Structure formats: structure tokens, C-alpha cells
Amino acid sequence: MIGFLSVLLYSAFTKADERTVLSWTRSADSCGKDDLSIPNGFSRMLWAYDKGKGVPSAPNKAAYHKERGTKSVALRGKVQVPELEEGLEYFDVGMDNLHVSGTAMDDPDGDNRTSYICTGFEIPEKYRDGTKWHIVKVEAIVEPKNYQKMHHIIMYECNHIKDSSLTHIGQCYNKNMPEDLAGCNAVSPIVGVYAIGGEPWYHPKEAGYPLGKLSGRGIYRGIMEFHYDNYNQKPFVDSSKMRYWVTKNLRQHDIGVLMIGSVFGLQIPAGEKEYEVQTRCPGTTTDGSEACISDDVIGKEGITITHSFMHMHTVGLSGVANVVNPDGSHKAQIIEEPYYDFNMQNWLELRKPYQLVPGDSIDVRCTFNTENRNKTVTGGLSTSEEMCLGFFQYWPARDFHMCIMYDLDKDGNITDITPDGRKQTHCMTNDHVDGLKSRPVEAFNMDYIPQPEIECDPVEPPQGENSVALSHGFQNVEEVEDFLATYEHSVQLHDTFTLYYNDNEEDKTVDFAVDVATDGWVGMGHSMTGDMAGGDIVMGWVLESGEVHLDDRFAPTHGIPRVDAVQSIWKARGTKIDHNGQIVGRQELSQKTCKKRDHQTEAQFRAKCPKITDRKECRNVGCRFKGKKCQAKKPKCKKIALDHCCKFPGCDYDDEKKCGGVFNKKAWQQV
């Protein structure tokens, strides 16, 4: 889950396939009516291409496509994998050959999908000799055949459980569960966590989770919770596990995990497009009583939050966690996931670690869409119910690990969490002498004063750049592969569609490249929900001449995306490779290649301009777009697209593989 190893993934298709490679750069902050910003988190990526029908005859003539899909990708916020020392050891914890019934344990009369199964465990004897180790990496070993059924695995620290509980396997939330296990589940410190779509979780280089049978903080016994979503209600066998990588070379700090939000008591009405729930972990109170985020809980110096992620179920739309001042004003944002995806939940690294200090409050807000539900969605454990939770990894570790809105003094179930929030929170601590403690806090307000909204506009190409699409100028396939290898991250959106990208923090831009097994058009972008409608899309293709078309577009419907009035991409380039592995339309651009016979006449030029309806095409061929019409004007070589350069006397390819020179009007008139 939660940590990413950047490995270059070369395309799965063979050299015999025709390929189209497109690349461009855009701002992460570009937005407005035609653009969506790229968050520090996951984006719902859309991909599509046409195969076998050739390139479009015009920008608005793209053929219908069957090759399409969506996948969530962390374009920004990927965990930077720390360099791990040699000689790490690991051990696995889990259950072998667990039989999961086709009848769900936790909702047999509902959707009949959800089963929570728990077991006790003890770390291997080698690590129980009193020596302190640090856990530095956690990964889930999920059986591939059960990937879609494994909703999550959570491992809680629970050192005081009895020997007899180590072999218990059964329903988690059940009266038959041993009392010592029941007292730890879902309330003790989290040691490891995986949710569907997750990747390995790397702890920051400054900290690790303490392991060993120690007098102070450290885990040697615990409880594991497996949540299965048996969507087809068929029995199956599972041996999924959690793997813990450990080292004796202790890091500077011990690490802790804090969970904030609410589960039981959520009441989300049916038919809502955007229904917001607010929860708060208070740092101050109105009557002077102890709050949750106080100096006796997190220390006078506070704690440093480095990673976080949001957790909801299937109607979760977006989530955000903000730090709030005592007067209710916004102080900082920890995480925002505007395009939440239930099937892709990972730790995300903060752009800059946040120092949480006593007196700060943390709001976790979740927005839900219940337009497809016909009854109220309640908070609960099953996938068809909902949760609103934020997880935060921090150092140095404190006893503080949970801040949840629910009433333990009554029956553990509440019914009145509203968009305005609930006026009671329980702070959970785990004292290594006195055990688990809960501090109920009621006297605090839920006021929140957001930051003023900043006007959002599309970001145009920076000075010296433009959105004109040109050829990469590659001479062979080896140069293509070398170019793709310069990208730091890559992911296969499909077997035939590979995305490469760089997250440039310095100027808040993202570089993109796609390598697709097609000789037709290619489209890629992102939307809030993964649906094409509302998508911010880049679409392009390469002609047999090598001429490149690449546009920034927006899809208001499921039709052909319209070309944006403001093109918010630059460094737009393209290449096509034929089935023989040759660059299509390759030209020796370093040489003077324009011939007199290539030139068009002034009459041809002036007759062509009014027939062009596309703004970008008008500019690329030397015309100008004025009002709503394409008109003839005296061309300027440097503004002409590379593929049209030779049509104008005096213009030619320069050494930088652009159209250059000085337009020769007299020679043009004499052609």
C-alpha cells in the first residue's frame, strides 16, 4: 500500500506492434471550466485509443473506440522510498488455508458480502529476546485469486493477550470472541495496515515501529483483522499475510499511527449528490477541560506528521483533513483526496511534514454521493455501509493513537452525526503500564472558517514555450526507449497503454508521456469520478508524414472532447513507429531539407485559411484566428508548425528542430 518503488515498466506489447508515443507538460494547478487540477494524491486517470481505423480526418472526427478504461494513479504525493540498508530480515504473519464461507458473517441478511475474521498472533521467538528492532517496511502478500475480495488487513498491537487467544480464529465483532482480543480490536495502536489497491508501506528514514518483548513501547503480540468482501457469495480459501521487514539498526525515532474520524452513527441520506460529514479531534475546549490534542497527550513539542490517507467505502466521493486554529480558522491542510477511489487506497507523503502542536484541532471531512442509493446509508463495518476516517503516520511515537466520534459510555452506537458534526469525541491512548484509556471530550465547538477561495484559471504555457505540437525528432526506436527511460515513474494503464510521468515539485508541473500500441488517435486525462463526462483530456495522433496533432481538451459529455480555448499544455511532441520498428515520417532535421517545389503560393495560402475552423490548426499553418474566423496574415517562421515549415520560402528547419528563418514574401509571391 503506502509507499511506492519507482520501477520503469516497459510496454507489454512487442516490437511488431505499431506504436504511438506522445508527450507533454502541464501545470498541476491549472483549473477552471476546462481544466482539473492535479492533487497531491490520487487522480482518476482515463485512457482510450482507436485501433485499426487510422487517424482522424479532422480534430472533431475521431472514430468511436472500444479500447478505453480508467485507473487511479498517484501523479503527485507518491511516497519517496528511503534507501534500505542491506541485511534486512522479514517475517510473515497471517492464517494458512482459511476457509471463508459463501454466507457472510457480518451481513447475512443484507448484501451478504462482509466477513470480519480475527486471530491472535505472536512474533517469531527470535525477536522476543528483549532486543529492540525497528519495523521499516510493511507489505501485504495477498493471494492473487482473492485480490478483489480482500478489502483490508489491519494488525493491532495487543501485548497483554493470553496464550489461549493466540490460536483463536473467528468472527471479530461477536460475543464469542475472547475478551482480551475484543478489547484490543479496532482500538489498539495500528502496526500494519493494507487496503484494496495498496502497495508496500515504507516508514520514513527518521523512524521505525518498535518490535520486541520490551519493557517500554514495542510489539510482540497482537490481533489481525481480515475484512473480506465476498462479492459473488462463493466459498473460497485464503492464505494472505502481512510481511514485516525489520532491522537492528535503530532509527532516530519510534513511529506512531493516529486514526481520526467516525464510523458508527453516520447517517447519510439517499439521493444526495454531495453530502458532507465533519468530524473533529479537538485541541481546545470551551470550559478549560482537557482536550485530545494537548501537551499531556502529544508532548509540548508536538508530533511530526509525514504521511496520511483517507478511508471511506463505496459512496465516498472525496475527503480532506485540515488543521484548525482555536478560533475555528483554517491553519493548514494535511491531505486532500478530491478524487477518492475505494479500490485504490494508499499512504500519501506530505509535500512537507507538518508539525502538529498542542492546541491544534484536526478536522476530517468526507463527502459522499448517494444518488444511486434508495435508503439512508449508515455507518458500519460492511462495504455497503460507510466510514469517514483519516490515518496519519507521525514521529516521535506517543501513546495517542485514536480520536473517534462515538459514545463508549452508552452502547458504542450513535445516531446523530450530521453535516454540522457531533459534539463528542473520544481520545484513545495506550499506556504501557495502565493499558488502554479513553478520554471523552464534549465541550468544544465545531466552527470552521475556510480559507478564501482563490480564483481558478487555466495555466497557459510559460514564457518561451507554446502548445504547438512537433515531432520528437527521433531517428530510431532506441532513441524512443532512451527518452521514456528519463521519466521517474511509470504505470501500465492497460496491457497496451503505458503512462510515464515526472512530478516536478519545484515549478508544480507534471511531465507526461504515453506509449500506446496503435497507429490511430490516443487520449488520456483525468476526471473526478473516473467517468469520461467532466474529464480533462489530452488527445492526439501522428500522421504518416510525421505531422503531430496534440490538443488539450475537455469532455462535457460522452462525445468527442472539445478543444480548450486556452491550451494548458506545452512541450507537446509525438512519434509514430510502424510494425517494422521504423520511425514514421522521419526526417534528418539537422539538414536543410526544404525544397522549392514544397512551397505553396500566396493564393493557395489565402484560399485555405478561411476554410479552417480549428483555432490551433489555423495558427500552425501560418494563419491567424481573429474573432471566430481563421484569416490570412503575413506568416512568421517561428510560429509555424514544423510540418508546414517548408511551405513558406525563407523558412526552414533550424538546429533546434523548430521552424526558423525569415519569411521571404517576395519569393513567395513569385512562386
**pLDDT tens string 97-131:** 999 999 999 888 778 889 999 999 999 999 999 99
Encode pLDDT of 625-661 as tens digits: 777 788 888 888 888 877 778 888 888 877 666 788 8
597 three-state secondary structure: helix
pLDDT in the model for residue 588: 53
Give the chain's largest Cα–Cα span: 99
Q: What is the mean pLDDT of residues 292-300?
A: 94
Please give the Cα distance from 588 to 583 (Å, whole number): 12
Nearest Cα residue to 534 out of 567, 565, 562, 514: 562
Q: Residue 440: phi, psi to the nearest 5?
A: -75, 135
Give yes or no for a contact between 113 and 382, defined as CB atoms under 8 angstroms apart: yes
Q: Does 64 score more than 70 pLDDT?
A: no
Per-residue pLDDT, 173: 87
Q: What is the mean pLDDT of the chain?
A: 86
Task: Flag whether pLDDT at 349 surpasses 70.
Answer: yes
Which class would CATH give 254-455? mainly beta
pLDDT at residue 612 in the model: 83
Mean pLDDT of 341-354: 87
Please give the full DSSP string across 196-212, using - where no structure is assigned.
TT---EEPPTTEEEEES
Distance of alpha carbon 670 from alpha carbon 664, whole angstroms: 10
pLDDT at 242 over 90: yes
Give the C-alpha distances (Å, rounded to integers) separating 179 from 13, 118, 159, 185.
Answer: 55, 13, 14, 10
Domains 86-248 and 254-455 in one fold: yes
- CA distance to 60, 121, 145, 403, 466, per residue, from 26 (Å): 23, 49, 38, 39, 11
The pLDDT, as a whole number, for residue 593 is 64
pLDDT at 530: 84
- For residue range 206-240, list pLDDT tens digits in order: 999 999 999 888 999 999 999 999 999 999 999 99
Residues in a beta bridge with 258: 392
Residue 2, pLDDT above cutoff 60: no
User: Rounded to whole angstroms, how far apart are CA atoms 62 and 54?
Assistant: 9
3-state per-residue secondary structure call for 252-290? CEECEEEEEEECCCEEECCCCCCEEEEEEECCCCCCCCC
Does the pLDDT at position 178 exceed 90? yes
| CB-CB contact of 546 with 471 (8 Å) | yes
Contact assessment for residue 275 and residue 367, using Cβ atoms and an 8 Å cutoff: yes
Q: Give yes or no for residue 255 having a pLDDT over 50.
A: yes
CATH topology of domain 86-248: Jelly Rolls (2.60.120)
DSSP 530-553: S-STTEEEEEEEE-TTS-EEEEEE
Asked whether the CA dihedral 619, 625, 629, 632 is positive or negative, the reply is: negative
The domain ranges of the chain are: 19-72+460-577, 86-248, 254-455, 596-670
- Mind listing the pLDDT tens digit for each residue in 445-490? 889 999 887 777 888 898 888 888 999 989 899 999 999 999 999 9
* Closest among 436, 424, 3 to 223, alpha carbons compared: 436
Using CA atoms, how far residue 495 sits from 68, 365, 443, 486, in Å, is 12, 36, 55, 21
Residue identified by cell 521519466 is: 487
pLDDT digits (tens, 9 = 90+) for 400-443: 999 988 643 333 333 344 444 445 677 877 665 556 678 888 88
Question: Quick one: CA dihedral 248, 250, 251, 255, positive or negative?
Answer: positive
Residue 629 one-letter amino acid: K
Closest CA to 500 of 485, 516, 489, 486: 489
Beta bridge partners of 316: 368
| CB 610, CB 621: distance < 8 Å | no
Q: Which helix (H) or strand (E) holds 167?
A: none
